[in-house]
């Protein structure tokens, strides 16, 4: 008993010591807890939220493409994607029955996907909004209907090669759609949902949305009326002349705005992966199929070069006049051919044009006259004019894949080459380059940049961004330009281009007939470049007919196309 009492004093104090030691440690732990839950709380909350939240993107509506009249050329259609979330399905049989019925899919196909153990399984995409709404209204657990945008082109194949189309992620693939991707695509938004570790959404936690920013509407200079008519004419010409391809380019020579760009056959923008009619996609290998599609999408006005032939005489004439190598009053004599070194180069008129001045020579499209002028200009001067006219660069048009000019190197140009260049042979340029250069020569000497896009406007219209394009003033003098307008008006009024004349309007222009390479293939390209009014050009059109059957002279088959086009659009443009 005494022993016990004796021990008790230090037992007690030691037990109390143990208690206070514990309290000290507990206090330390509480302090640690305080640090974690007050000072570190924000950091760990953020980390935890990152872990718990799943980000789903909300697509932004792609900007529309709108023509000069406000008509929508490229629009968005709301479509739905129907998917199932395995873990949330309550009644699998009902889901299979409803989905196979509404979507027109086989029960077997749907069941396989419904029963697949995955976080989310897509059943069908590009479902009509109406069908999507019906399925959503059934409110089946585990069935998700997500809305999405699909590009839609109200005019089908119209201006297909200029507009271009979009791919699976709504990104531009060709044409304006790809060049103006930055403006059109907008910015995707996000939905943040809270999920458990397996990804099952926790409904009670709600969701956080960051709204998408829709793409800007792109206003272009294309005029749907002119484009329609040009396409119609091109198709008609291709059919009647049994041609391979017909391109029609209509632009405003004053500022470079393109009013129409048709390159038939075009393709259906709403089904860009369907091969041209009659072709069975399954009959070709993957590579071959892609080649065929690329050929179908190719824009002949931009992507391909050709030998311009006599329309290029506009450039030779301008260079000759500008350099002083020739005056309108200079007289020439054409015996039907001209000797350049040891080569005898024929004129298209076998008997020769006889005596003629420069204006008459142009009206006759007389090769010996232009060869003479070309030789007078000389290689170096001619070449520097090419540069000055912008012929050796690309035009800078706002379409992808513009081809460059294929021209001899200056040091390789001898008299024979110079002679052939003078009347538009032995080199290649794109139609857009020819049209742009001709426009620059007749518009007073300003090199303009051909383009479609005028401005990009936000969907709510609050912000509008206008596009500006480079203009260079020093192409030719105003005097030379005026002379050129006069000469080219004469060509149409009473020369080789008289089939391009339109009653009541002053039209200037130049015809061309060129043989395609290799020579002797019997294939020709007939073309005509016209503009009006001849004294103050407001519209310029270039028609190119590839491989017409029967008559193949530009003056006979291409000039009438421009006449028909002008007969329609000149009064229309006057009214605007």
Partner 1 sequence: MAQRNASRRKQDKGEKFMDYSLLFIVLFLVGFGIVMVFSSSSYEANQKLGDSTKYLRQQLFASILGMVAMMVVANIPYHFWERFALLAYLGSVVLILLIIPFGYSSGGATRWLYIGPISLQVAEVAKLGMIIFLSSLICKLGKGVRGNKGFWFVLLSPVPVALMLWLITNNLSSAIIVMGIAVLMLFVSCPDYKRFFILAFITLAAAAAVVFYVVQTAQAHVDELDFRGGRILAWLDPEAYANDKAFQTIQALYAIGSGGVLGKGLGQSMQKRGFLPEAQNDMIFSIICEELGLFGGIAIIIMFLMLIWRLMIIANNAPDLYGALLVVGVMGHIAVQVILNIAVVTATIPNTGISLPFISYGGSSVMFLLIEIGLTLSVAKGIRLKDL
Residues lying near partner 1 in the complex (CB under 8 A): 3-4, 7, 10-12, 14-19, 22-23, 25-26, 29-30, 32-34, 36-38, 40-41, 43-45, 47-49, 51-52, 194, 196-198, 202, 205
Residue 313 has which token pair?
């005489």
Active site residue 310: yes
CB of 258 to partner 1, least distance (A): 57
Nearer Cβ to partner 1 (15/279): 15
Q: What is the DSSP string of 327-377?
A: -TT-EEEE-SEEEETTEEEEPSSTT--EEEEHHHHHHHT-HHHHHHHHHHH
Residue 474: both structure tokens together: 């020093």
Out of 310, 426, 496, 514, the active site residue is 310
Question: Least CB distance from residue 30 to partner 1, whole Å?
Answer: 5
3-state SS of 252-297 is CCCCCEEEEEEEECCCCCCCCCCCCCCCCHHHCCHHHHHHHHHHHH
- Closest approach, Cβ 194 to partner 1, in A, equals 7
Complex with partner 1: residue 6 or 294, whichever CB lies closer: 6
Tokens of 566: 């002008």
Least distance (Å) from partner 1 to the CB of residue 31? 10
Cβ distance 220 to 73 under 8 Å? yes
Please give the helix or strand (H or E) that residue 567 lies within, else none: helix 559-575
Beta carbon nearer to partner 1, 33 or 188 = 33
At closest approach, how far in Å is the CB of 1 from partner 1?
10
Q: CA dist 380 to 208, 338, 374, 412, 419, Å?
A: 68, 22, 11, 11, 14
Closest CB to partner 1 among 17 and 271?
Answer: 17
- What is the helix (H) or strand (E) element at residue 79, kind and residue range? strand 72-84
CB atoms within 10 A of CB 380: 10
CA dihedral 189, 193, 196, 199 (to 10 degrees): -40
CA 409 – CA 383 distance, rounded (Å): 9
Tell me how far, at minimum, the Cβ of 210 lies from partner 1, in Å.
21
CA distance 311 to 454: 29
Q: What single DSSP character describes residue 451?
A: B
26/572 with CB nearer partner 1: 26
Query: Quick one: CA torsion of 68, 72, 74, 78, rounded to 10 degrees?
Result: 160
How many residues are given for the chain? 576
- Compute the least distance from the CB of residue 94 to partner 1, in Å: 21
Minimal distance, residue 115 CB to partner 1, in Å: 18
Query: What is the residue whose two structure tokens read 């199929």?
Result: 289
Q: What is residue 209's three-state secondary structure?
A: strand
Q: Give the shortest CB-143-to-partner 1 separation in angstroms.
A: 21
d(CA 263, CA 247) in angstroms, rounded, equals: 4
Directed axis angle between helix 431-442 and helix 379-389, to 10°? Answer: 90
> Which residue's CB is nearer to partner 1, number 45 or number 119?
45
HSE toward the beta carbon, residue 447, CA cutoff 13 A: 22
- State the minimum distance, in angstroms, from the CB of residue 15 to partner 1: 5
Q: Is the dihedral of CA 288, 292, 297, 298 positive or negative?
A: positive
Q: 4 or 409: whose CB is closer to partner 1?
A: 4
Closest by CA to 369, choosing from 412, 343, 400, 338, is 338
Separation in Å, CA 401 to CA 179, 276, 406: 10, 22, 15
Q: What is the DSSP letter of 423?
A: T
- Of 40 and 465, CB closest to partner 1: 40
Our CB check for partner 1 shows the closer of 23 and 281 to be 23
Inter-residue contact 330 to 358 (CB < 8 Å)? yes
Q: Please, what is the Cα angle at 447 between 259 and 490, to 5 degrees? A: 75
Residue with Cβ nearer partner 1 (35 or 572): 35
* Dihedral (Cα; 14, 15, 17, 18), 10-degree rounding: 120
Nearest 5°: the CA angle 367, 373, 375 is 100
Residue 25 or 339: the one with the smaller Cβ distance to partner 1 is 25
Minimum gap (Å) between residue 48 Cβ and partner 1: 4
User: Could you give the residue numbers annotated as active site?
Assistant: 310
């Amino acid at each position: 008993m005494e022993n016990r009492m004796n021990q008790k004093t230090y037992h007690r104090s030691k037990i109390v010591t143990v208690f206070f030691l514990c309290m000290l440690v507990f206090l330390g732990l509480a302090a640690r807890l305080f640090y974690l839950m007050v000072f570190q709380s924000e950091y760990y909350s953020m980390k935890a939220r990152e872990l718990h939240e799943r980000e789903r993107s909300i697509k932004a509506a792609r900007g529309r493409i709108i023509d000069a009249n406000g008509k929508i050329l490229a629009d968005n259609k709301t479509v739905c994607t129907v998917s199932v979330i395995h873990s949330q399905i309550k009644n699998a049989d009902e889901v299979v029955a409803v989905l196979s019925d509404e979507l027109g899919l086989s029960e077997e196909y749907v069941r396989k996907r419904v029963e697949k153990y995955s976080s989310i399984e897509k059943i069908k995409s590009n479902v009509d909004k109406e069908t999507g709404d019906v399925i959503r209204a059934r409110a089946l657990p585990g069935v998700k209907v997500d809305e999405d945008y699909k590009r839609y082109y109200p005019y089908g194949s119209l201006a297909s090669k200029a507009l271009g189309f979009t791919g699976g992620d709504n990104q531009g693939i060709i044409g304006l759609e790809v060049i103006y991707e930055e403006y059109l695509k907008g910015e995707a938004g996000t939905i943040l949902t809270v999920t458990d570790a397996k990804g099952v959404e926790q409904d009670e936690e709600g969701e956080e949305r960051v709204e998408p920013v829709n793409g800007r509407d792109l206003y272009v200079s294309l005029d749907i009326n002119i484009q329609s008519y040009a396409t119609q004419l091109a198709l008609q010409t291709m059919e009647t002349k049994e041609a391979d391809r017909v391109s029609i380019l209509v632009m405003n020579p004053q500022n470079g705005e393109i009013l129409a760009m048709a390159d038939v056959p075009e393709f259906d923008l709403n089904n860009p992966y369907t091969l041209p009619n009659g072709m069975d996609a399954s009959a070709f290998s993957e590579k071959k199929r892609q080649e065929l599609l690329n050929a179908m999408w190719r824009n002949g006005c931009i992507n391909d070069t050709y030998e311009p032939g006599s329309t290029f005489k506009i450039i030779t004439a301008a260079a000759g006049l500008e350099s002083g190598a020739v005056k309108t009053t200079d007289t020439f004599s054409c015996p039907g051919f001209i000797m350049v070194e040891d080569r005898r180069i024929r004129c298209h008129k076998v008997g020769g044009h006889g005596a003629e001045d420069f204006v008459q020579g142009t009206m006759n499209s007389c090769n010996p006259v232009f060869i003479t002028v070309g030789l007078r200009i000389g290689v170096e001067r001619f070449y520097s004019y090419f540069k000055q006219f912008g012929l050796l660069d690309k035009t800078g048009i706002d379409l992808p894949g513009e081809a460059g000019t294929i021209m001899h190197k200056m040091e390789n140009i001898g008299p024979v080459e110079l002679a052939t260049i003078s009347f538009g042979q032995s080199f290649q340029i794109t139609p857009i380059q020819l049209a742009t250069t001709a426009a620059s020569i007749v518009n007073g000497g300003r090199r303009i940049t051909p383009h479609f896009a005028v401005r990009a406007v936000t969907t709510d219209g609050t912000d509008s961004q206008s596009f500006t394009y480079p203009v260079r003033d020093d192409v030719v003098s105003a005097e030379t330009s005026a002379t050129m307008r006069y000469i080219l008006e004469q060509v149409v009024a009473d020369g080789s281009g008289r089939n391009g004349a339109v009653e009541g309007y002053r039209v200037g222009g130049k015809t061309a007939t060129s043989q395609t390479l290799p020579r002797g293939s019997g294939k020709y390209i007939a073309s005509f470049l016209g503009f009006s009014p001849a004294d103050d050009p407001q519209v310029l059109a270039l028609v190119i007919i590839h491989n017409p059957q029967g008559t193949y002279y530009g003056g006979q088959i291409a000039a009438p196309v421009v006449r028909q086009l002008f007969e329609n659009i000149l009064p229309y443009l006057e009214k605007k």
